[in-house]
A = this chain, B = another copy of it.
Amino acid sequence: MRFSSCYIPTLKESPADAEVVSHKLLLRAGMVRRLTSGLYIYLPLGLKIIDKIANVVREEVNASGFQELLMPMVQPADLWKETGRWEHYGKELLRFKDRNEREYCLGPTHEEVITDLVRGEVRSYRQLPVRLYQIQSKFRDEIRPRFGLMRGREFMMKDGYSFDADSAGAEQSYKLMYDAYTRIFRRLGLKFRAVEADTGSIGGNFSHEFMVLADTGEDTIAFCHDCDYAANVERAEVVWKGAPCAVACPEHEKVATPGAHSVEEVAAMLRVPAAAIVKTMLFNVDGKTVAVLVRGDREVNDIKLKNLLKAQDVDLAGAATVEALTHAPVGFAGPVGLDVPIYADLELQGATDYVTGANAADAHFKHVDLRRDAVITAWADLRAITAEDVCPRCGGRIELTKGIEVGHIFMLGLKYSEAMHAAFLDENGKEQLMIMGCYGIGVSRVAASAIEQNHDENGIVFPPPVAPFECILLNLDPRNADVTAKAEEIYAMLQGLGVDVLLDDREERPGVKFKDADLLGAPMQLVVGGKGLARGIVECKDRRSGEKGELSVEDIEEGFSQWAVAVRRGWEAQQA
> Given the complex of chains A and B, what is the CA–CA distance between A98 and B76 in angstroms?
17
Interface centre among A73, A98, A106, A116, by most chain B C-beta atoms within 10 angstroms, is: A98
Given A73-B137, A141-B98, A121–B9 Cβ distance below 8 Å?
yes
Contact mask for chain A residues 164-180; partner B; CB cutoff 8 A; 1 contact, 0 none: 00000000000000000
Which residue in chain B gives the minimum CB-CB distance to A116? Answer: B35
Contact B41 A70 (CB under 8 A): yes
Q: Is B69 within 8 A of A42, CB to CB?
A: yes
Q: Report whether B70 and A143 are in contact in the complex, using a CB–CB cutoff of 8 Å.
A: no
A41 and B6 form a contact (CB under 8 A): no
Q: Is A430 an interface residue (CB 8 A)?
A: no
**Residue interface bits A89-109, CB-to-B below 8 A is 1, else 0:** 001101111110000001000
Contact flag A39-B74 (CB < 8 Å), given A98-B94, A137-B137: yes
Chain B residues within an 8 Å CB radius of A269: none
A69: chain B residues within 8 A (beta carbon): 7, 41-44, 46-47
Contacts of A103-135 to chain B: CB distance below 8 A: 106, 113, 116-117, 120-121, 130, 132
A154 within 8 A of B: yes
* A137 CA / B5 CA spacing, docked (Å): 27
User: A292 to nearest B CB, angstroms?
Assistant: 28
Number of copies: 2
Chain B residue numbers with a CB within 8 Å of A5 are: 65
Query: Does residue A36 face the partner (Cβ distance < 8 Å to B)?
Result: yes
Question: Is A40 interfacial (CB 8 A cutoff)?
Answer: yes
Interface of A is mostly: mixed
A73 & B7 in contact (Cβ 8 Å cutoff): no
8 Å CB contact of A7 from B35, B42, B43, B132: B132
> Closest CB of chain B to A30's CB: distance in Å?
9
The reply to whether A72 and B40 contact each other, CB–CB distance below 8 Å, is: yes
A399 at the interface (CB under 8 A from B): no
Give per-residue flags for A58-70: 1 if the beta carbon is below 8 A from chain B beta carbons, else 0.
Answer: 0000000101111
In the bound complex, residues from chain B placing their C-beta under 8 Å from that of A46 are 69-70
Check if B76 sits within 8 Å of A35, measured CB to CB: yes
Residues of B within 8 A of A50 (CB): 70
Select A68's contact among B44, B130, B141, beta carbons within 8 Å. B44
Asked if B47 contacts A70 (CB within 8 A), the reply is yes
Query: A121 — which chain B residues lie within 8 A by C-beta?
Result: 9, 33
Q: Which residue of chain B lies nearest to A70 when distances are taken between CB atoms in the complex? A: B42
Q: Which of B94, B99, B113 contacts A35 (CB 8 A)?
A: B113
A-B contact pairs, 23 of them (CB 8 A): A7-B130, A7-B132, A9-B121, A33-B121, A35-B71, A35-B72, A35-B113, A35-B117, A39-B72, A42-B71, A44-B68, A44-B69, A44-B132, A46-B70, A47-B69, A50-B70, A72-B137, A73-B73, A73-B137, A73-B154, A96-B96, A96-B97, A99-B141
